Structure 1
Amino acid sequence: MPESDLFSHDKEICMNIGDGRQRYEGAVVPPIYGNTLFTYDTFDKLSEAVMDEQSHFVYTRGTNPTVSIVEKKLAELERGEKCKCFGSGMAAISAALLNSLKQGDHILCVSHIYFSTLDLVKYLQKFGIEHTVVYATSPEEIERAIRKNTKVIYMENPTDMMYRLIDLKAVAELAKNRGIRTIIDNTWATPLFQKPLTLGIDMVIHSASKYLGGHSDLLGGAIIADQGIIDAIFKEEYLMGGAVLSPYEASLLLRGLRTLPLRMKVHQKNGIKIAEFLESHPAVKTVHYPGIPSHPDYQLGKRQLSGYSGLMGFDLKEEHYDAVKEVIDATAIFQIGVSWGSFESLILSPNYGTNANQLMKEHRSPGFIRLAVGLEDADLLISDLKQALDRLL
């Protein structure tokens, strides 16, 4: 099947846009600007640069040529006006929330979000910022959960671990009518498979440590939004927070972006094949993956997503810690570890054997297992899962 015009354009962005080979003596890979500062011929020129640091290279805590190339690519991939990169995904999330909120405001978190993000939201209570979590994804239920002081609707799409989908266009419309800012973590789908800004969402966040980097060897984050939002973040949360993406990490991220379109095709192919296998296994109760027709949001996904990544979950019929532990420990190709989005396949569970009350509070099954399907041969991965799951029969 030929590539869509959209995917072909994104592929060109990943491969070539912003690399500036003519500026760098024809270098096929842009140089790494590892210097911390940039000097000027005269004090007047330095003074001018300092007064407009976003448009000039003064100090790498502000801007850096290597990092700027990455930011240009990510902004274009998301169809946004501007991007700012950070030293981690959590740094980007922190900056986005701090820029959007003040004392007395309220954050509405939609369904399941990354636990560290939820910890941050709880931490903000000490500054007089309230929050609630609505464990639902329909626009009607989200609308009912909005308060008079709600200033941010925060989402992951698909939702964390449960992988339910949110109608982003509908939520963006109800938020704009009330002057509420919408923020979404788009790490699961990547800019290749979902473009929230085109659906009316205000801010997109990425953990670049996942699919964008793709090799489990860098930490990074990014915010993409309109120029006004990014300019405000640069002057306040970015410069004062200091959580910058180093030029060395930026060079690794550039490398990851060059292969992103190729890798995501394999993640998708493997993911669908493994989800279909899990559906057929007698030890599995439910598969959480929007790329299969049995998923409750499959039709919404066909309208809103242009592809699917390799991150999914499933519930065991035996919903207890011992069964979860037995399956995880029995895998050989799937490695036991946190994070996801790189070449390797990973397995874990939010059930640690001591947090049953927390799982119940967060509407999570104690038999849930998460898979980050990597780039290995799908049949080998299925064989590994089969021998592990068969132990429960």
Structure 2
Amino acid sequence: MTDDLSHLLNHLGEDRAHGFDAVVPPVVQSGNFAYPTVAAMRAVVQQEFERPLYTRGFNPTVAIVRRKLAALEHAEDALLFSSGSAAIAAAVIAFTKAGDHVVCVHKPYSWTKKLLSELLVRFGVETTYVDGTEAENFRRACRPNTTFFITESPNSLTFELQDLAAVAAIARERGIVTLCDNSFNSPLFQNPIDLGIDLVAHSGTKYLNGHSDVVCGVLAGSAAHMRQVMAREFMTLGAAPSPHDAWLLMRGLRTLELRVHRSADSAERVARFLEAHPKVRRVHWPGLASHPQHALARRQMRRCAGLMTIELDASDEAAVERFCDSLRRFLIAVSWGGYESLQWPVCALKGPSGYYTDLPFTLVRLYIGLEDPDLLIADLQNALARM
């Protein structure tokens, strides 16, 4: 990658003169900050978003990470939240009010859908879900009171993409604010702001942290948009991360470039192996030429990241469970983006009254971690043989 990226990940925002000349910036693990005089505090109160007064608003450790995240997403500013869900919630609430209408891609992250369908609807905000594979569906769903578009390209289970530039153009015609959940790609593989999107959200828990030991979220955009969110929703809802979590995220960013490319390299090998296997009906991964939106993926993404879903050729749940339980190198867990390979089977979404989803039980999502891809392929081959 470029020298600029190397500098950004390893040095940007790190003034060592403010950290006792330590090579690694210290964790400023303090809830509040004291000043010697009333006049000194009065000056800080007027600049609460830029100077340390109370850690919810500004913290020196968090500030370093915010600067790096904004630069990664080609944004003017970024906010760090205690989770990705908090970042998305703050963004939607900031740009909607009672009586407004939202258009959202039809298979968003489950907690994004809960926010829209179970929470905001109680306060008079309606949502229409559309098939995002056709940008014109966003236009068709618009009403006079539509104020916000939500995209997730690709989504994190069936990996459907949206043409972000086309969706952004439709929104600009109507003065609609746009958001893209970019967690699948990381900022290294896709930058929605460059395609005209206003706001970019991340689950920082995933690739940005990369070590499976932090839950956090990111929202990036223009300085004006970030100031609006910070002054109201961020400060009022209080979903701020701890300084230690911010420091851990900064540590993860050091190796972001190495990790995401390693995962993507291995994912390509695994996807091609699975696509050729007779017990796999389909591999949902935009990096394969067989993906129906492969051309769009090549146009708006630099690479395809290490998350995919396979559809097993299984007639019953027992066969799917045998496959999953036979895997030794893929932990059964949610999330992705860490060092470890993971599997998340749809057949786990079953309660006493049936499935919680209308997705087929034959789907298993795989995250390709940093292990040797030959070991992962051998593990998959063994598990498929046991179906």
TM-score of Structure 1 vs Structure 2, range by shorter chain: over 0.9
Counterparts in 2 of 1:77-96, with a 5 A limit? 77-96=72-91
Question: Structure 1's 85 and 319: CA in aligned 2 closer, same or farther, altered over 3 A?
Answer: farther
Preserved contact between residue 307 and residue 367 of structure 2 (Cα < 8 Å): yes
Preserved contact between residue 10 and residue 192 of structure 1 (Cα < 8 Å): no
Q: CA deviation at 1:106?
A: 1.3
Please say if 1:119 is aligned against 2:130.
no
2:20 corresponds to which of 15, 18, 25: 25
1:181 corresponds to which of 154, 157, 177: 177
Counterparts in 2 of 1:252-331, with a 5 A limit? 252-318=248-314, 320-331=316-327
Question: Structure 1's 51 and 93: CA in aligned 2 closer, same or farther, altered over 3 A?
Answer: same
Q: CA deviation at 1:258?
A: 0.3
Q: TM-score, structure 1 length as denominator? A: 0.94
Partners of 1:141 and 1:357 in 2: CA distance: 29
Q: 1:341 maps to which residue?
A: 337
Preserved contact between residue 290 and residue 297 of structure 1 (Cα < 8 Å): yes
Preserved contact between residue 111 and residue 159 of structure 1 (Cα < 8 Å): no
2:374 corresponds to which of 352, 376, 379: 379
Partners of 2:116 and 2:137 in 1: CA distance: 21
Preserved contact between residue 356 and residue 366 of structure 1 (Cα < 8 Å): no
Q: Secondary structure at the match of 1:11?
A: helix
Counterparts in 2 of 1:22-171, with a 5 A limit? 22-122=17-117, 123-171=119-167
Deviates more, 1:106-115 or 1:312-321: 312-321
Q: What letter is aligned with 2:363?
A: F
Preserved contact between residue 132 and residue 161 of structure 2 (Cα < 8 Å): no
Q: TM-score, structure 2 length as denominator? A: 0.96
Give per-residue Cα distances to partners, 1:246-300, cap 9 Å, x unaligned. 1000110010000000001101101111111110110111111111111111111
Partners of 1:368 and 1:10 in 2: CA distance: 36
Preserved contact between residue 346 and residue 360 of structure 2 (Cα < 8 Å): no
Partners of 2:355 and 2:344 in 1: CA distance: 19
Gaps (5+ residues) in structure 2?
Answer: none
Deviates more, 1:266-275 or 1:34-43: 34-43
Partners of 1:167 and 1:339 in 2: CA distance: 25
Q: What letter is aligned with 1:140?
A: E
Q: 1:359 maps to which residue?
A: 357
Deviates more, 1:96-105 or 1:136-145: 136-145
Q: CA deviation at 1:94?
A: 1.1
Q: What letter is aligned with 1:376?
A: E
Q: 2:189 maps to which residue?
A: 193
Deviates more, 1:383-392 or 1:203-212: 383-392
Q: What letter is aligned with 1:132?
A: T
Q: CA deviation at 1:350?
A: 2.5
Q: Secondary structure at the match of 2:102?
A: strand
Gaps (5+ residues) in structure 1?
Answer: none
Partners of 1:320 and 1:173 in 2: CA distance: 45
Q: What letter is aligned with 1:95?
A: A
Q: CA deviation at 1:320?
A: 4.1
Preserved contact between residue 100 and residue 152 of structure 1 (Cα < 8 Å): yes
Partners of 2:144 and 2:290 in 1: CA distance: 37
Q: CA deviation at 1:358?
A: 5.0
1:389 corresponds to which of 362, 384, 387: 384
Q: Secondary structure at the match of 1:177?
A: helix
Partners of 1:262 and 1:130 in 2: CA distance: 42
Q: CA deviation at 1:356?
A: 6.1
Q: What letter is aligned with 1:131?
A: T
Partners of 1:100 and 1:324 in 2: CA distance: 43
Q: Secondary structure at the match of 2:232?
A: helix
Question: Structure 1's 136 and 323: CA in aligned 2 closer, same or farther, altered over 3 A?
Answer: farther
Q: Secondary structure at the match of 1:359?
A: coil
1:11 corresponds to which of 6, 10, 13: 6
Q: What letter is aligned with 2:103?
A: L
Partners of 2:37 and 2:273 in 1: CA distance: 66
Identity fraction in percent: 41
Q: Secondary structure at the match of 1:193?
A: coil
Partners of 2:186 and 2:115 in 1: CA distance: 23
Q: CA deviation at 1:236?
A: 0.7
Preserved contact between residue 205 and residue 221 of structure 1 (Cα < 8 Å): yes
Question: Structure 1's 111 and 248: CA in aligned 2 closer, same or farther, altered over 3 A?
Answer: same
Q: What letter is aligned with 1:369?
A: V
Q: Secondary structure at the match of 1:313?
A: strand
Q: CA deviation at 1:323?
A: 2.7
